[in-house]
Structure 1
Amino acid sequence: MQPPSLTMKVYKLFLDIYYDNFGTFGNVYHSLGGVYVQFENMPAHQKKLLKNQFVLRFVSFGGNFNKFMLLFVSGMKEFEQEKLMKMNGKDSWVIANLGVVTADLPQGNNMADIPATSRYHHTTDVQFKEISDEFVTTRQNQLCTEYGLRVKPSILDRLLRERHLQTSQDVYYATAGKFE
């Protein structure tokens, strides 16, 4: 889809998600875990500022990550298709995609569908296909254990994203230097 006018401004946004399950941000904002969003295409010196980490929602104890993220994913799907919006009173073309997903270790990685080993390789696609093609549930589970993968994809897999950019580092390391 092309912008309706060559003079219209185009905004391309990449959103990074940090899933914090009782980690660093929990001590700063709230004792509950939460999901925080940051604009990836923000200048590096601004990314370091805590005020530029936006709370998407707090996660209740024992909450289901897929249900929790359903509203966010449906909104992001609209922006993946490009959207006409008013920005500063002028029509603008807005496109948004998911950037990097970072989560606490280890349970946060499981909920955000990031392998704890931080491994993603082109052969992983073949392994996902092998798991999904298997009809016997116990064999699916064996393959998942063998490959270190999940039976069901995360809700975030519904969004366009570059799986090679995902990281399994703890949110503490992702925010190093931001609390000076």
Structure 2
Amino acid sequence: MKFKSHQKLRNHFLVGFVPFKGKFEDTIKPFIQDIQQLECGFLMTIDNEQVWVSGGLGITIADLPQGNDLAGTLRHNATHGC
């Protein structure tokens, strides 16, 4: 997606909020399951015609701590989290 398209509100899709004292893993799990189903593909009927639909997650944007969690890297002191 071009940078100009990134700035348009219609191209932002809110996945969800992590509630206070909630775990990110519990919140993102249903989304990951949906993406995995989309990667495998499935048949869908559109206008009485069956089409094969498949896709995946191309890019994600996160702040630094959340990005580290998504990538599985350690935080600042490389031994323990903040």
Aligned counterpart for 1:70 among listed residues 14, 23, 29: 29
Larger Rg: 1
CA change 1:96–1:79 in 2 (3 A) is same
State the match for 1:81 in structure 2: 40
**Number of residue-to-residue matches in the alignment:** 75
Partner AA of 2:50 in structure 1: D
d(CA) in 1 for partners of 2:41 and 2:17? 28
**Runs (5+) with no aligned partner, structure 2:** none
Residue pair 1:79, 1:96 contacting (<8 A) in 2 also:
yes
- Aligned residue for 2:66, secondary structure, equals helix
- Structure 1 Cα separation of the partners of residues 22 and 69 of structure 2: 10
Match of 1:109 in 2: 67
2:21 is equivalent to residue 47 of structure 1: no
Tell me the equivalent position of 1:57: 16
| Alignment partners' CA distance in 2, 1:113 and 1:61 | 22
Greater strand share, 1 or 2? 1
Q: Distance in 2 between matches of 1:112 and 1:80?
A: 19
Structure 1 portions without partners, runs of 5+: 1-42, 118-143, 146-180
Which AA in structure 1 matches 2:69? Answer: M
Task: Say if 1:109 and 1:116, in contact at 8 Å, map to a contact too.
Answer: no
Identity of aligned residues (%): 28
Partner residue in 2 for 1:28: none
Q: How does 1:7-26 map to 2 (within 5 A)?
A: none
Moved over 6 A (4+): none
Q: Secondary structure at the match of 1:101?
A: coil
Which gives a bigger RCO, structure 1 or 2 (Cα 8 Å, sep 6+)?
A: 1
TM-aligned CA distance change 1:69 to 1:80, over 3 Å: same
How far 1:111 sits from its partner (Å)? 3.0
RMSD of equivalent CA atoms? 2.5
